[in-house]
Amino acid sequence: MVKELYIAGEWRLGRGHVIQSTFPADNSINAEISTASAEDIEEAIAKADQAWRAPEWRNRMPHERAKILYKVADIIEARVDELSQLQTRDNGKPLAETRGLVLSAAATARYVAAACETLNDELTSQRAPDFMTLSVHEPVGVVAAITPWNSPIASEVQKLAPALAGGNAVILKPAEATSLIALELAKIFEEAGLPKGLLSVLVGKGSVVGDAIVKHPLVRKISFTGGTTTGRHLAHIAADKLITTSLELGGKSPTIVLPDADIELAAKGIAYGIFSSAGQACIAGSRLFIHSSIYDQFLTRLVEITKGLRVGHPEQKDVHMGSLINQAHLQSVDRYVQLAKQEGGEVLTGGEALTTGEFAKGSFYLPTIITGLKNQAKVCQEEIFGPVLVVMKYDNEQDLIQQANDSCFGLAAGIWTESYRKAWRISRALEVGTVWINTYKKFSISAPFGGFKDSGIGREKGRLGILSYMQQKSIYMGLSDQPNAWCD
């Protein structure tokens, strides 16, 4: 049966063409899903605009909005097994990882619920005798939330929860490959008591459905996670409409090993930082800089660890890497590896797809380590979004920082050292939005997340994450019995 969409508070078939959701590990079909037509988009946005303006939502107290989010968190948590299974079927990530993402989505909803009760408006004037001023926060209106396929449930709740907590309505356009989890989320928000119309999930192609949503005049904010090219395109649309964006884009994050690093800890952390999610993460630590004094020793250990990683069926236990999202993406990853070889790189391990036996029908690629390239090589500059690590040697800190920053991206970085003074100095010099010291890919919901340079604009998460879905209004209240003085 073809899956229905959640349009303007109703479950019904979208009037666009039908697409298939497939399981990347063996290409079997998970479901057929209808997509949104231009009329569906119009209907969803018109209803969303009414829904956020309705007194029922506008005047709802923060703790009452929070109640819905707490319930969302409870439902997500109670259904963790089923939801992680669904997300694994959608994008081929190992169950252990998708389970973590589902639980983090529940934690996000809970954090936003608590945080939205703590937001204050301000009394800004302190000394004016004849008036006082207040600064209050208002919703922006209808928000377009556009998400990628790599960690859908986490990125979707990270947008829906603060946008709804801020009093807005949301049109969610998930990636075509991972629409099932978004539709399930709509059911969860509905069950938690979200009034009709405040959320629609419109499945379809980004360049058609996504484009039409963001260009709609009633859409007043774009919250996007995805590739830099698409993000730039959306920023142009937002500029024309004079609306705000939050753009969480690509990365080519440097990881740095100082001479005094704990080698075992660092090598394991670095392998996790690049090869978890099969490298399909914007924050993947994909460029590694090792100090020359420990280069050989460190690399030997890293290669050993990497060779021990288990690539396998994502539904099996103890699998480190599942399937890539699809064959087209696998070909793109492999093209980068071939290019690296042409540019003089040496593949120390990996560098090929797994194509036989249980891997025959999926898109599995071995974790790959490449050396012998300079930071200017294409493979060191462009985002591969796969299990490919390029390794470089450095001698002094100044040169290291120059190379680490020599990238159009600036999303994240890792530093491995026992010296917190050095770690602090280097972390302040790196042009990135997040630095991990002696750890990698850890997230706190209360820490803002976003990129420098081509890695994006705006920050998600934290208490300010809710305010990013609101706009400030200043209200002046006259206190004087006298008429306004004519000009002062």
* Least CB distance to ligand ADP at residue 4 (A): 19
92, 139, 206, 456: residue in contact with ligand ADP (rule CB under 6 A): 206
* Least CB distance to ligand ADP at residue 41 (A): 12
Say whether residue 226 binds ligand ADP (CB under 6 A).
yes
* Least CB distance to ligand ADP at residue 234 (A): 6
Structure tokens at 357: 């036996």
> Which residues, in sequence order, are bridge partners of residue 139?
470
Burial per residue of 236-261, b for 16 or more beta-carbon CB atoms within 10 angstroms, e otherwise: ebbeebebbbbbbbbbbbbbbbbeeb
Say whether residue 207 binds ligand ADP (CB under 6 A).
yes
173, 216, 252, 320: residue in contact with ligand ADP (rule CB under 6 A): 173
Say whether residue 444 binds ligand ADP (CB under 6 A).
no
Contacts of 72 (CB under 8 A, 6+ apart): 106, 109, 157, 161, 188, 189, 192
**Closest residue to ligand ADP: CB criterion:** 206
**Could you write out the DSSP letters of every residue in 51-68?**
HHHSHHHHT--HHHHHHH
In the complex with ligand ADP, which residue's Cβ is closer, 98 or 403?
Answer: 98
Composition of the chain by helix, strand, coil, percent to 5: 40, 25, 35
In the complex with ligand ADP, which residue's Cβ is closer, 253 or 375?
Answer: 253
* Least CB distance to ligand ADP at residue 227 (A): 3
Burial of 397 (0-12, 13-18, 19+ CB in 10 A): middle
24, 166, 210, 458: residue in contact with ligand ADP (rule CB under 6 A): 210
Say whether residue 214 binds ligand ADP (CB under 6 A).
yes
Stretch that binds ligand ADP, among 70-78, 171-179, 194-202, 259-267 (CB under 6 A): 171-179
- Rounded-to-integer distance, Cα 291 and Cα 285, Å: 16
184, 211, 248, 454: residue in contact with ligand ADP (rule CB under 6 A): 211
In the complex with ligand ADP, which residue's Cβ is closer, 49 or 176?
Answer: 176
Burial of 138 (0-12, 13-18, 19+ CB in 10 A): middle
Contacts of 229 (CB under 8 A, 6+ apart): none
In the complex with ligand ADP, which residue's Cβ is closer, 176 or 184?
Answer: 176
Question: How many residues of this chain bind ligand ADP (CB under 6 A)?
Answer: 16
- List own/partner pairs for 337-342 with CB under 8 A and 24 or more apart: 337/368, 337/370, 337/379, 337/388, 339/378, 339/379, 340/370, 340/373, 340/377, 340/379, 340/388, 340/390
Q: In 10 A of CB 63, how many CB atoms?
A: 12
In the complex with ligand ADP, which residue's Cβ is closer, 152 or 167?
Answer: 152
DSSP 286: -
Instruction: Report H helices in 362-417.
Output: 378-381, 397-405
Region of residue 39 (phi > 0: left; psi between -120 and 50: alpha; otherwise: beta): alpha
67, 187, 233, 393: residue in contact with ligand ADP (rule CB under 6 A): 233
* Least CB distance to ligand ADP at residue 45 (A): 14
Residues 141-170 that bind ligand ADP (CB under 6 A): 146-148
Structure tokens at 4: 């229905």
In the complex with ligand ADP, which residue's Cβ is closer, 196 or 205?
Answer: 205
Say whether residue 345 binds ligand ADP (CB under 6 A).
no
Q: Active-site residues: which are they?
A: 248
* Least CB distance to ligand ADP at residue 229 (A): 7
Q: Could you give the count of Cα atoms lying within 13 Å of 477 in the half-sphere of its Cβ?
A: 10
In the complex with ligand ADP, which residue's Cβ is closer, 43 or 211?
Answer: 211
* Least CB distance to ligand ADP at residue 238 (A): 11
* Least CB distance to ligand ADP at residue 242 (A): 18
Say whether residue 383 binds ligand ADP (CB under 6 A).
no
Say whether residue 230 binds ligand ADP (CB under 6 A).
yes
Burial per residue of 24-48, b for 16 or more beta-carbon CB atoms within 10 angstroms, e otherwise: bbeeeeebebbbbbeebbebbbebb
> Which residues, in sequence order, are bridge partners of residue 470?
139
In the complex with ligand ADP, which residue's Cβ is closer, 223 or 375?
Answer: 223
Residues that bind ligand ADP (CB under 6 A): 146-148, 173-176, 206-207, 210-211, 214, 226-227, 230, 233
